[in-house]
Amino acid sequence: MGYSKEIYDEVQRKLYRIRNKSWDEMNEKKRIFYKRFPEAQKIEKELSLTSIEVAKAILKGSDSSYELYKLREKNKILRKKLSDILKSVNLPEDYLEIKYNCDKCLDEGFIDGIMCNCMKDMLKKEAYDRLNDLSPLDVSTFENFSLDYYSDYPSQNGEQSPRKRISLILSFCKKYAANFKKDSPSLLMTGNTGLGKTHLSLAIAKEAIEKGFGVIYSSTQNMISNMEKGKFKGFFDYNPSEKYYSECDLLIIDDLGTEYSTSFSSSAIYNVINSRIMRRKPTIISTNLSMRELEKYYSQRMVSRIIGNNVRLEFLGTDVRQKLMEIRRK
């Protein structure tokens, strides 16, 4: 899974807090229970000492088999006494034991070096929540993408109608999301503003996250800003944000061409896109610019790399969001 280091670190912190909370709850229960039943605390201490003696006896080997037998019998008697005390006040036998959220990994996140399903679910949720903070995924789904606001009339140059074109794009994006994998093709979404490019790219992101893939969504301007900040974090950590954008399973670059153009921004965008092409990692790029405008805005080398390695989806029509606003006013 290509989740960012920030997401992994945050999930590890959450697991640490969960473990600490479980320990605190157990210790508080013991404190209250031992205050009422001091004998239970003595039994617990004896059980701890017996466990240590059992471990020592096992290390001694076969010569200590009788000693080991006696210790285990003593352990049974002590546990029976503790169980009787708990039963006397209608409490379960495991009342004084720590309660983990996940009984498989004990809230560590890993079982014998293999990631537990609970941590996979937490990573998926963290990735979803972070992306949802940037742009609400719940309102950018395939289900609520409507074709009703696109014209049925072909354009003057004889192209197919916007509704027909968007219908084909919607169908393509659904199949793309359903079959998404780490080496899926990259996409280039072009067309005027307000035609659903961001909506469909986020709908793909939502399904990719639900499959457990690491997704990063960013406007071009924010991506450049983050990489500029990362550039000055020190010699041994030079430009970490470029790596951040280059290594995720799916990168969505929104509004290419709206950022303030500098030599740094052009170079940084090219490096990320080229790195992902070399690694065969999918990137979804959306832009309001035409191919000719992109060539004026960026180097021919960069535009050539994008055109040669991305499936182009050209959106037709006029701003759907304006139509929606007009309908709401009425």
Q: What is the pLDDT of residue 251?
A: 93
Q: What is the pLDDT of residue 125?
A: 83
3-state secondary structure (DSSP) of residue 109: coil
- Per-residue pLDDT, averaged over 198-225, amounts to 89
Task: Provide the residue type at 5 as one letter.
Answer: K
Q: Give the pTM.
A: 0.70
The C-alpha atoms of residue 47 and residue 249 are separated, in whole angstroms, by 50
Could you give the domains of the chain?
Answer: 5-114 (no CATH), 135-329 (3.40.50.300)
**Tens digits of residue pLDDT in 284-315:** 999 998 888 888 888 888 899 999 999 999 99
What single DSSP character describes residue 149? T
**Tens digits of residue pLDDT in 231-251:** 655 443 434 467 778 888 899
**Tens digits of residue pLDDT in 257-269:** 888 778 888 888 9
List, as own/partner pairs, every contact residues 208-211 make where C-beta atoms lie below 8 angstroms and the sequence separation is at least 24, other chains included.
208/177, 208/180, 208/249, 208/250, 209/124, 209/127, 209/128, 209/131, 209/137, 210/124, 210/128, 211/180
